[in-house]
Amino acid sequence: AQTVTQSQPEMSVQEAETVTLSCTYDTSESNYYLFWYKQPPSRQMILVIRQEAYKQQNATENRFSVNFQKAAKSFSLKISDSQLGDTAMYFCAFMNLQGAQKLVFGQGTRLTINP
Amino acid sequence: DVKVTQSSRYLVKRTGEKVFLECVQDMDHENMFWYRQDPGLGLRLIYFSYDVKMKEKGDIPEGYSVSREKKERFSLILESASTNQTSMYLCASSLTTGRSGANVLTFGAGSRLTVL
């Protein structure tokens, strides 16, 4: 079974700073996706970024980028020029592409951006 | 945009009551999921369905059942609610692999259930 671990329950940074959220996972599969989802306070979960395991290039979406280290089974999220609207719970998630496409989530990191 | 709508945002029920949580998606997604979200535990999969009338157990199915009679609707049922089922419940849907946009789950706003 796959497991996803987020070791930082809470983080706090000042607006405009760069912040990195950590995620490690454990799997014996070779064909999978990794995701970061964001859940703002009292709002719904939305996709931030996705990484296909077969791609060596790290995914980037505007101010959000990942550092995907496949051998180390590490998948961190970097948020550049952080904004107040980035305040949210962030979840790292794993999807095995063999069989049912279900997500396995980490415990979450509560990120607060301070003005 | 795909919309996943959960019928109730907040519910308060008594121990032993039967509880229905409804979820409807409007973009013809094959896959639908029910997750439970608890602080420090992240999201855990209760049940999922990849087709009408099909269902598969997730990681924590005990005390729950599901129904999928129509493609767009996936219901979570608590046959006899207990206090340890107090939680946030999230519904999600996705396209099956091979279709454009597949493998990305779209979530509903959540249903916060309190069992007294």
Task: Among B45, B58, B109, select the one facing A44 at the smallest CB separation.
Answer: B109
Look up residue B84 and give its amino acid. Answer: N
Q: Cβ contact (<8 Å) for A104 and B96? A: no
Count of CB atoms situated within 10 Å of the CB of A49: 19
Give the tens place of pLDDT for each residue, B38-66: 999 999 999 999 999 899 999 999 999 99
Give the tens place of pLDDT for each residue, A5-49: 999 999 999 999 999 999 999 999 888 999 999 999 878 899 999
Question: Residue B100: pLDDT above 70?
Answer: no
Look up residue B69 and give its amino acid. Answer: E
Give the tens place of pLDDT for each residue, A59-76: 999 999 999 999 999 999
Residues from chain A contacting residue B57 (CB–CB below 8 Å): none
Count of CB atoms situated within 10 Å of the CB of A69: 12
Q: What is the C-alpha end-to-end distance of chain A, expressed in Å?
A: 41
Q: How big is chain B, counted in residues? A: 116
Predicted pLDDT of residue A97: 84
Q: Which of B104, B106, B111, B112 to mutate to test the interface with A (most CBs of A within 10 A)?
A: B104
Average pLDDT over residues A68-85: 96
Q: Is B95 strand, coil or helix?
A: coil
Taking CA–CA distances from B38, the nearest residue in chain A reads A107
Residue A66, phi then psi, degrees to nearest 5: -120, 155
Q: Look-up: residue for tokens 């059942």?
A: B65
Q: How far is A45 from chain B (nearest CA, A)?
A: 6
The encoded tokens of residue A88 equal 């949210």
Q: Cβ contact (<8 Å) for B97 and A101? A: yes
Look up residue B70 and give its amino acid. Answer: K
- The strand pair at B106-107 and B87-94 is best described as antiparallel
Predicted pLDDT of residue B27: 84
Give whole-number Cα distances, B6 to A22, B3, B16, B73, B88, in Å.
31, 10, 22, 10, 12
Average pLDDT over residues A72-93: 97
Q: Report how far residue A101's alpha carbon sits from residue A35's, in angstroms, rounded to the nearest whole number.
A: 13
Average pLDDT over residues B16-28: 95
Predicted pLDDT of residue B35: 97
